[in-house]
Amino acid sequence: MKKYNFNAGPSMLPREVIEATAAACLDFDGCGLSLMEISHRAKNFQPVLDEAVALIKELLNVPEGYSVLFLSGGASTEFCRVPYNFLKKKAAYLNTGTWSKKALQEAKMFGETVEVASSADANFNYIPKDFVVPVDADYFHITTNNTIYGTEIRREWDSPVPMVGDMSSDIFSRPVDVSKYDCIYAGAQKNLSMAGVNIVIVKDEALEKVGRPIPTMMNYMTHVKGGSMYNTPPVVPIYCAMQNLRWIKAHGGVEAMDKLAHQRADILYAEIDRNKLFRGTAAVEDRSLMNICFVMTDEYKDLEAEFLSYATERGMVGIKGHRSVGGFRASCYNAQTIEAVEALVQCMKDFEATH
């Protein structure tokens, strides 16, 4: 049976990206050796890293004066690197869920923090709108897509201070005005590559301003100077990212990804709103295009387990919601197909017909 992959992360990648990566793991670049068993400094690997960096700059229209880095430790390590490198006295954070909260937690170790607003009062089902960012903050941190709660900030905000964005689960799904950010970071395993690498886009002139000693590996400047090769980088995830960046470019770039994201989400949200058994959990105006969260209406609450097994029997994978929200979550990253979304919608319709 055909499987439709709605996993939240690690998540679906284009088949050809997986095949190209698998081929390189067997024989990299026709050299007779695996990508896993050559030096990262081999002369045929450097072009992979260079192409990946160039594609990121091209796809996101990264202005001059920014560096693109491939680092390790997941987005969770950037929660710590960000304040280490940018927090002089005070940093502002918008609390829109689990990941924002964890980012803020790390910043507290480095100076004063201001939580400008939080949607914890409603289990993070919306994006706070009325708040003030202190003008004396070193930066304002946002999580553009809340993977767990299915809310998203899918527009450019004005901030009186430079922004820092955790874009782990929506990077490359839409155009971004990088010039508003001192730093953008993302773990790769949602929308870019396999797990094992994070991409970081930093404004060079914002670095080395904090005046505190920074351990070598935590210092972004180390990696800017070292071209992401200060230590051994995760070559297979970087190779996979490069292949996926090529795929995104070949499919029309981030503008096309944005259009597709809207198409997929419109189809699925329309069914959630129409079907008497289901309701969406996120505030309509803040609905994520990436992680579509829904539950069964109160009247049909006891059918949740039944729908999960019904959908699973029809090939749906990974639609069980995160325990913090319950119900269902269909993750629709760049590689997700309209066909899969339509299959899920059909499944919801058929289930409704039997009740």
Would you tell me which residues interact with ligand PLP (CB under 6 A)?
9, 74-76, 99, 143, 147, 166, 168-169, 187, 190
157 is catalytic: no
Enumerate long-range contacts of 245-251, CB under 8 Å, 24 or more apart: 245/51, 245/52, 245/55, 245/56, 245/59, 245/172, 245/192, 246/51, 246/55, 247/14, 247/16, 247/17, 248/55, 248/59, 248/172, 248/334, 249/55, 249/58, 249/59
247 is catalytic: no
Smaller CB distance to ligand PLP: residue 48 or 167?
Answer: 167
Smaller CB distance to ligand PLP: residue 156 or 205?
Answer: 156
129 is catalytic: no
Is residue 82 left, alpha or beta, with left meaning phi > 0 and alpha meaning psi from -120 to 50? alpha
Give the position of tokens 């060079």.
204
Query: Minimum Å distance from CB 142 to ligand PLP?
Result: 10
Smaller CB distance to ligand PLP: residue 82 or 348?
Answer: 82
Query: Minimum Å distance from CB 296 to ligand PLP?
Result: 25
Task: Name residue 185's beta-bridge partners.
Answer: 166, 200
Smaller CB distance to ligand PLP: residue 186 or 277?
Answer: 186
Which position among 99, 170, 182, 203 bears the catalytic label?
99
CA atoms lying within 13 Å on the CB side of residue 178: 24
Which position among 138, 166, 170, 286 bears the catalytic label?
166
Which position among 138, 190, 203, 258 bears the catalytic label?
190
Query: Minimum Å distance from CB 108 to ligand PLP?
Result: 17
For residue 194, report the phi and psi dihedrals to the nearest 5 degrees.
-75, 170
Query: Minimum Å distance from CB 246 to ligand PLP?
Result: 22
Which residues are known to be catalytic?
99, 166, 190
